[in-house]
Chains A and B, each alone.
Chain A
Amino acid sequence: MVMAGVLAGCGSGGGGSDSGTITAYVYGDDAVKVQQAAVDTFNKTSKVKVKLVSVPGTDYVNKLRSAMGSPSAPDVFFNWGGGSIKPYVDSDDLVDLTSTIKNDATLKDGFLPAVMTAGGLEGKIYGVPMRGMQPVMLFYNKALFAEHEIEPPKTWEDLQAAIKTFKTAGITPFALGGSDKWPELMWMEYLLDRIGGPEVFRKIQDGDTQGWGDPAVLETARTVEELVDDGAFGKNFNSVDYGNGGAPTLLNKGKAAMHLMGSWEYSTQLGKAPEFAKKDLGWTAFPTVAGGVGDPANVVGNPTNYWSVNARTKHKDTAVAFLKTMASQTYAQALVDNGDVPTTSGAASMLSGSPNPQFASDQYEMVQKAPNFTLSWDQALEAQYATPLLTEISKLFAGKTTPEQFVAAMKAAR
């Protein structure tokens, strides 16, 4: 570990980037082909060429971190906005794009406003949206709902009634990959948003750890405790994961009725159980919570991913020109063809060409109409708070801490 830092520090001592090229780091997964195509098109007309470096997903954060501290840092890089770029903002590594975007019609009007602001920090914009949206949605097994003659829950009472019905039938009401920890986070995010509104978390995100002391947080933690005690997630969710397909399989085999998950659940199901995905996979918004003050139209999840520009780049103009192509029709179309829902403002009309037009347009509408889009907490907070947060949430779900202890631990997080 230390070696990595040291080697990166003294490795290419002052080499810098080659003249005439800018390097762009991207999270290496299936969607890279869309970015590669955009780069190829851009390079045809640009003097300064963009070189796309696809970093394997699991290594992305660490690789970026060590590269940014070294002379061979990328000029442009993929990120999740919010806390994921906070350290770079703090060490003056990023170009503030606020005025650039304000003065450029293509960028300013090109994207959904909620998405554009969700990636920024303290009112400033540091990134341009570059991939599909990933709101968290409540997925359900249509066949099971039909069999037990109930509707997908719209209110908290509906949800509790559904839990009862499915439990009696020996079906786990909600699939939950507790071993991965982050699926549990989604419950916290939606519950806090519905109970206390998005302001509660925004305060915390802006650096006030005492914000965890808000009564809505305690109420959220208590609700989680109740859900767990009620058996809403079954008994063994602590040893179920998402990554290896545990939780999605519970849903598509009819062993669990619902699954709160990011919109990528659709493609996961399409890959694992195509029949089920096409026929029996339903989706809806997170229900309202009794007594809550949050707008039920609010959404949580990952608004999208962003390109940010390294302040030390030698070709800032090229970088910005490249970022502008993200607002183009061609790029949005390529995302749609890949099964993603773009965050560009004119995307609605393209979605009919999506692999599942209904799913794509429901998702787009949900985000478009959302008064607020809260970025996933683990991305919104800096790593130093995000990791203890996931640990504390896991302890809460596992019944190792009380809601009061959870609040106290989060207030004390350093």
Chain B
Amino acid sequence: MPHHTPVAKRHGDRKAAVGDVGRPPVAWAVPGILFFAVFAIVPLAIAVYLSFCTWDGLDSPTLTGLDNWTRLFNDSEFGQAAWLSLVLTTVSWVFQTPVALLLGVWAAGRQRGRAFLSAIFFIPLLLSTTAIAMLFHALLDPNFGVIRTIGPWLGIDPDVMGSSTGALLVVAFVGGWQFMPFHTLIYQGGARQIPEVLYQAASIDGAGMVRQFFHITLPQLRHTATTSSVLMIVGSLTYFDTVLIMTKGGPGTDTTILPYLMYRTGFQTYDLGYAAAIATALVVVATGVSLLMVRLSGFGSMRSTREGM
């Protein structure tokens, strides 16, 4: 990616840092770099290597060149999984962002009962994903769950987990329910950073609540939104445990998203070479999406939201 500006800036920084007594030497980063290399770079490199092999996990991997990759591009199941991942990611973002943003801004205020309610909102994040998936699975049981009672009343078919769209929406909802508090927290932190004077000035100029929100809060939260969105999108792309527990990729293959397809290929079919190709493709897509987000939002240029203040 063309990071001209930041690279140039960093060069400038280094020149300025020469002889800067207070700065820690590069050597301080060595443990961190080593740690990252051992636990992220090396496994990633091995995964890329394996994607050119066939390996059943028992014998040694055999190089088969581009076989896995040609198979990947012709595999309708991979295509479907990629599409489902995309849909799930979009639905999750659309569902979570507005709610988290509004809750976060609200939680940054000084209303009565705010601390108490914030603590309650935060609870889902403290539960394990497995526990949550099992809980919703029980609630949505078409014969014995609450959905049987309240479903028809809300206009929802109790067999929601048995329908293609229903199952995918449930997965998106359960994930959103769990991680919304986290994004709320991010937005709350962001909203608290907005200088009070901006609001004071705005109310002197006669701007109401709504105008203040759209003209001060939202623009000031731009970078917060980028951070939250990148985390949300990468999180949705690597979404796995809920699918494993709640739908097992079903009905049919209608919730078999990319990470689940990778798991199935790697750990149920023991086709580890092809699973590595799927994993690598996922890394490429996730990295691409994050870089694109960062670039489109201007986050990478490191401009401050406080510029011009």
- Tell me the chain A residues, 385-413 only, with Cβ under 8 Å from chain B: 386-388, 391, 394-395, 398, 400-401
Query: With an 8 A cutoff between CB atoms, is B189 at the interface?
Result: no
The interface residues of chain B lying within 8 Å CB-to-CB of A178 are 162, 250-251
Taking residues whose C-beta sits less than 8 angstroms from the other chain, chain A's interface range is: 35 or more
Given contacts A1-B272, A2-B43, contact A239 B141 (CB under 8 A): yes
Query: With an 8 A cutoff between CB atoms, is A215 at the interface?
Result: no
* CB-CB nearest in chain B for A62: B267
Minimum Cβ distance to chain B for residue A399 (Å): 9
Query: With an 8 A cutoff between CB atoms, is B13 at the interface?
Result: no
Chain A CB within 10 A, most for which of B47, B56, B143, B266? B143
| Chain B interface, number of residues (Cβ within 8 angstroms) | 44
Docked-complex contact B58 and A91, CB < 8 angstroms: yes
The interface residues of chain A lying within 8 Å CB-to-CB of B162 are 178-179, 235-239, 398
Query: With an 8 A cutoff between CB atoms, is A203 at the interface?
Result: no
Docked-complex contact A179 and B248, CB < 8 angstroms: yes
Minimum Cβ distance to chain B for residue A56 (Å): 15
Interface string of B44-63 (1 = CB under 8 A from A): 00110010000111110000
Docked-complex contact B269 and A383, CB < 8 angstroms: yes
Query: With an 8 A cutoff between CB atoms, is A66 at the interface?
Result: yes
Query: Out of A62, A65, A384, A395, which one reaches B252, CB within 8 Å?
Result: A395
**Stretch from A243-251, A305-313, A344-352 that touches the partner:** A243-251
Docked-complex contact A66 and B57, CB < 8 angstroms: yes
Query: Out of B57, B140, B163, which one reaches A5, CB within 8 Å?
Result: B57
Docked-complex contact A1 and B161, CB < 8 angstroms: no
The interface residues of chain B lying within 8 Å CB-to-CB of A250 are 143
The interface residues of chain A lying within 8 Å CB-to-CB of B43 are 2-3, 6
- Tell me the chain B residues, 123-171 only, with Cβ under 8 Å from chain A: 134, 137-138, 140-144, 158-163, 167
State in angstroms the CA–CA spacing of A93 and B58 once bound together.
10
State in angstroms the CA–CA spacing of A236 and B142 once bound together.
7
Docked-complex contact B158 and A400, CB < 8 angstroms: no
The interface residues of chain B lying within 8 Å CB-to-CB of A391 are 249, 252-253, 256, 264
Query: With an 8 A cutoff between CB atoms, is A255 at the interface?
Result: yes
Tally of contacts, chain A with chain B, CB under 8 A: 117
Docked-complex contact A238 and B161, CB < 8 angstroms: yes
Minimum Cβ distance to chain B for residue A298 (Å): 28
Interface string of B203-215 (1 = CB under 8 A from A): 0000000000000
Query: With an 8 A cutoff between CB atoms, is A68 at the interface?
Result: yes
The interface residues of chain B lying within 8 Å CB-to-CB of A3 are 43, 46
Docked-complex contact A383 and B248, CB < 8 angstroms: no
Interface string of A65-107 (1 = CB under 8 A from B): 1101100000000000000000110010100000000000000
Given contacts A235-B159, A239-B162, contact A249 B272 (CB under 8 A): no
Query: With an 8 A cutoff between CB atoms, is B5 at the interface?
Result: no
The interface residues of chain B lying within 8 Å CB-to-CB of A225 are none
Chain B CB within 10 A, most for which of A66, A179, A237, A388? A179
14 extra interchain contacts, Cβ-Cβ under 8 A, other than A2-B276, A238-B159, A238-B163?
A1-B267, A2-B46, A235-B159, A238-B162, A239-B142, A239-B251, A244-B137, A244-B138, A246-B144, A384-B270, A384-B271, A387-B264, A387-B268, A394-B253
Q: Which residues does B use to contact A, with CB under 8 Å? A: 43, 46-47, 50, 55-59, 134, 137-138, 140-144, 158-163, 167, 247-254, 256, 264, 266-272, 275-276, 279
Q: Which residues does A use to contact B, with CB under 8 Å? A: 1-3, 5-6, 62, 65-66, 68-69, 87-88, 91, 93, 178-181, 235-241, 244, 246, 249-250, 255, 383-384, 386-388, 391, 394-395, 398, 400-401
> Could you list 11 A-B pairs, sorted by A, with CB under 8 Å?
A2-B46, A91-B59, A180-B248, A235-B162, A238-B163, A239-B141, A246-B144, A255-B143, A383-B270, A384-B269, A400-B251
The 8 nearest A-B residue pairs measured at CB: A238-B162, A239-B161, A236-B159, A239-B162, A236-B142, A395-B252, A400-B252, A238-B251
